[in-house]
Each structure stands twice: as C-alpha cells, then as structure tokens.
C-alpha cells in the first residue's frame, strides 16, 4: 500500500493546457524526460467537478493502486525516476467511501522496465444520489497483459492507447470525493534499454480472426511458451499463456471471457503444458466467424502444434479457416490479439529457436552491467 503524503504535495502540481483538449506538447515540466518528446492526452471522465491533479513526468509506471466500488474511489501511482521508486500520492477518496458498497483495493505491479503501461480504458457517468460524472470503471493495459476491468461497466465508454513505440510516463486528472477524470503523459519507450534490443530479435505476425471488434492486447516477447489455458464453447471464450523468461515461469493475464459466458453452451477448459525447453510452439490454426445473437467475427476454434505433437482442435470448426506456421528454425515466443467478451483475434511474435539461449546469456550479462 502507498503511504498518504501531506496535502502540500498536491499543491505543487498543476494542469497543463485546456482540460478536454486534444493531445498537446508539454513544456516547462521537469521529471527526467526530454519534455520536447512528451505529449499529454485529453482528459477522460467528468470535467466539470473536482480539482485538477498532475503527477508529472517520469521514466515509466511501476505500480498502480486502485480503490473502487460503485465508482473509482481513488488511484495512486508509483513511478520510476532514474532507477528510484517515486510515489506522488493518492488522488480521490476524499470522504466518499461511505456512499458506495464495500470498497475493494487492487494493486497492479508491472515488471518494470521490460513491462510498461500502454493503454487505459473505462466508463464514466453520474451516480444517482452520490456524485456528478465520475469514473465508474478502469481497465489497464501494459505491453504484455491486461488488468481489470475494475469497477462498474456502465456509462460512457472511453479508450486511450499510445502509438507503437510509446509508453505512458505520467498520469493526471480531476478528483474530489472520487476520481472524476483521468489523462496521460506519453513518451517514446526508451530504445536504449536492454529488453528493447532483445525484442528486436523477434518478428510479429499479422492478426487472425476478427480485427474490427474488441480491444488490442499483447503479451510481449519471451524465451518461449510453456503453458496455454483455453476456455471454449460455441467460440473461444478466453486464452491465458504462461511463458519462460530466464528459466522462470511468467504468467500473463487472461484475454477474453469478459461477460460472455452465459451466451454460449457449457464451457470447457483445457490446459496445455509443453515439455519446455525441448518442446516449443511452432503453429496455430483455427476458424473465425460471427455467432448469431452473440458476437461479430470471433475465433470459433484453435489448434496448437509444437515441434513434437498437436493439441486440439478446440471449439467449433466453422467459418473462415486460417493457419500460421513458423519457418524452419523458428518458434513462437509471444502471443497478441484482440479481445472483448470473447477472443476476437490472435497473432504471434516469432524468433529463431537456436538463438534464444544466446540472447538469454547476453541479457543476463548486460543486466548485471546496467546495474553497476
């Protein structure tokens, strides 16, 4: 949990530009970044109430603490500044907690610096008898996984996502009893970081399935795939992948399965465990189509193939077929796609199988050098 700073800290910040305006260039704010390369987004949520707050500009986001009930009660963000852990303070939660249902607190910890914040979406509207327009829900997205949604999915939806090669390096907004609005400072992701160099050794594929619906997700690039958990019925409900990174199991978040379960038949869950590192993922195939009365184009079935065996197919084999297979000497080292109530689309990061061990050795060595 974050410590609560004195009130004087919040008085040292101010909003830049007009609230609700489109993306503008920042000037004059310090925080370790070259301000000429930093942009600020518009505000999302209630713009007519509360007081403005601005955490400023940092090297990246490390942790986010959300308190929520009928709306987003408060947010507290911890940043990285020159390798130091910085906590600006809590925004919102000023006496409003007793008005909504029992509050829930969630702490989101990113695997910084290889994982960074790239998107935030949610809903906003008034709460009868409680507040004017405030944030009702928030969903956080990193370059690797999604967190949430947290709160109540009612009201006006919004979605913010950085462009390729960028990251969120600071948050701002409006707050009072609750969190009224939220906005973001955006900066290019640091290209000099070791993990960016390692990721450049991989090649992304196109997306297969429904590319018009849902929200984008990207697990990122790892040393290989170790486990896949698939939930399916009339379509692919959700997918969750566990990877290997430096001989450690890394479990990313679930993609899909947001409220669509009651619309299809009894769901089945399958867990695929590869004999890593001797077994690795080389191919994924399946079908995609719309589901009458349920969803636009989504994935209806998936089949996985390793260098040793096949798993599936899982789901219903109807619609438009697709097949993705790596070239000889390559393997799949990360998954990406689009998701909403179901799994809309899937894509892949590919790397040379025989070079990943070399990259792990280089990464470990350079990590020690960078720590010195």
- Region 324-351: what's the mean pLDDT? 92
Which residues in 336-365 are b (16+ Cβ under 10 Å) and which e? bbbbbbbbbbbbbbbbbbeebeebbeebee
Q: Is the pLDDT of residue 99 over 60?
A: no
> What's residue 67's pLDDT?
93
Distance CA(226)–CA(276), nearest Å, equals 6
pLDDT over 60 at 130, yes or no: yes
The C-alpha angle 81, 86, 91, rounded to 5 degrees, equals 130
- For the entire predicted model, the pTM comes to 0.51
pLDDT digits (tens, 9 = 90+) for 273-316: 999 999 999 999 999 998 876 668 999 999 999 999 999 999 99
Q: Going by DSSP bridges, is the β-strand pair 131-142/117-127 parallel, antiparallel, or unpaired?
A: antiparallel
Radius of gyration of the chain (CA): 22
**Percentage of residues in the chain having pLDDT higher than 90:** 49
- Structure confidence at residue 98 as a pLDDT band (50, 70, 90): low
- pLDDT of 82 reads 82
The pLDDT assigned to 254 comes to 86
The terminus-to-terminus CA distance of the chain in angstroms comes to 29
Average pLDDT over the chain, rounded to an integer: 80
Q: Say which residue, 28 or 67, is predicted with more confidence.
A: 67
Q: Classify the phi-psi angles of 23: left when phi > 0, otherwise alpha if psi is within -120 to 50, otherwise beta.
A: beta
> Which domains are seen in the chain, by residue range?
7-188 (2.100.10.30), 194-357 (2.100.10.30)
More confident residue, 32 or 113: 113
169: left (phi over 0), alpha (psi -120 to 50) or beta: alpha
Overall average pLDDT of the 76-81 stretch: 93
pLDDT for 165 equals 82
Give the confidence band of 185 by pLDDT, cuts at 50, 70, 90: very high
């Amino acid at each position: 949990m974050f410590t609560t700073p004195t009130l004087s800290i919040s008085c040292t910040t101010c909003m830049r530009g007009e609230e609700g305006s489109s993306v503008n260039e920042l000037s004059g704010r310090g925080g370790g970044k070259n301000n000429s390369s930093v942009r600020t987004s518009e505000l999302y949520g209630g713009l007519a109430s509360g007081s403005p707050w601005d955490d400023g500009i940092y090297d990246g986001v490390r942790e986010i603490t959300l308190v929520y009930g009928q709306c987003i009660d408060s947010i507290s963000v911890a940043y990285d500044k020159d390798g130091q852990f910085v906590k600006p303070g809590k925004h919102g939660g000023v006496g409003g907690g007793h008005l909504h249902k029992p509050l829930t607190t969630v702490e989101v910890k990113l695997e910084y610096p290889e994982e960074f914040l790239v998107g935030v979406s949610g809903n906003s509207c008034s709460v009868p008898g409680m507040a004017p327009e405030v944030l009702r829900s928030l969903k956080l997205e990193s370059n690797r996984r999604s967190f949430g949604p947290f709160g109540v999915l009612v009201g006006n939806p919004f979605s913010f996502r950085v462009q390729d090669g960028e990251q969120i390096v600071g948050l701002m907004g409006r707050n009072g009893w609750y969190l009224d609005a939220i906005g973001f400072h955006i900066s290019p992701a640091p290209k000099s970081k070791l993990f960016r160099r390692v990721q450049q050794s991989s090649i992304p594929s196109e997306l297969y399935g429904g590319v018009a619906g849902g929200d984008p997700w990207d697990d990122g690039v790892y040393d290989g795939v170790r486990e896949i958990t698939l939930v399916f019925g009339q379509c692919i409900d959700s997918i969750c992948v566990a990877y290997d990174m430096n001989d450690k199991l890394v479990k990313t978040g679930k993609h899909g399965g947001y409220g669509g379960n009651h619309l299809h038949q009894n769901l089945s869950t399958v867990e695929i465990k590869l004999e890593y590192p001797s077994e690795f993922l080389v191919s994924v195939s399946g079908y995609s189509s719309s589901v009458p009365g349920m969803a636009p184009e989504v994935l209806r079935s998936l089949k996985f193939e390793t260098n040793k065996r096949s798993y599936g197919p899982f789901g219903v084999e109807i619609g438009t077929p697709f097949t993705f297979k790596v070239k000889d000497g390559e393997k799949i080292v990360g998954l990406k796609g689009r998701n909403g109530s179901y799994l809309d689309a899937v894509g892949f990061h590919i790397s040379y199988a025989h070079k990943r061990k070399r990259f792990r050795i280089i990464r470990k060595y350079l990590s020690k050098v960078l720590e010195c």
